[in-house]
Homo-oligomer: A and B are copies of this chain.
Amino acid sequence: MQIFSTVAELRAFTEEARRAGHRLGLVPTMGALHAGHLQLVAAARAECDAVVASVFVNPTQFNNPDDYRLYPRLPQADTDLLAAAGCTAAFLPSVEEMYPQPAALRFDFGALERVMEGAQRPGHFNGVATVVSKLFHMARPHRAYFGQKDWQQVAIVRQLVADLSFDLEIVAFPTVREADGLAMSSRNRRLGPEARAAAPQLHQALAAAAAQVRQGVPPAKVQAQAEAALAGAPEIGLEYFAVADAATLQPLAAYAPGRAVVLCLAAELGGVRLIDNVVVDGA
Interface residues of A (CB under 8 A from B): 7, 11, 18-19, 21, 101, 103-112, 129-130, 133-134, 137-138, 140, 159-160, 162-167
Contacts and interface: CB of A to CB of B under 8 A. Distances in A.
Nearest to A98: B165
A134 B19 contact: no
B106 A112 contact: no
Interface residues of A, dominant DSSP: helix
B101 A134 contact: no
A239 B103 CA distance: 30
Contact of A19 (B21, B133, B138, B166): B21
A138 B165 contact: yes
Contacts of A162: 101
A100 to B, nearest CB: 8
A19 B21 CA distance: 7
Contact of A133 (B21, B130, B164): B164
Of listed A103, A112, A130, residue having the most chain B CB within 10 A: A103
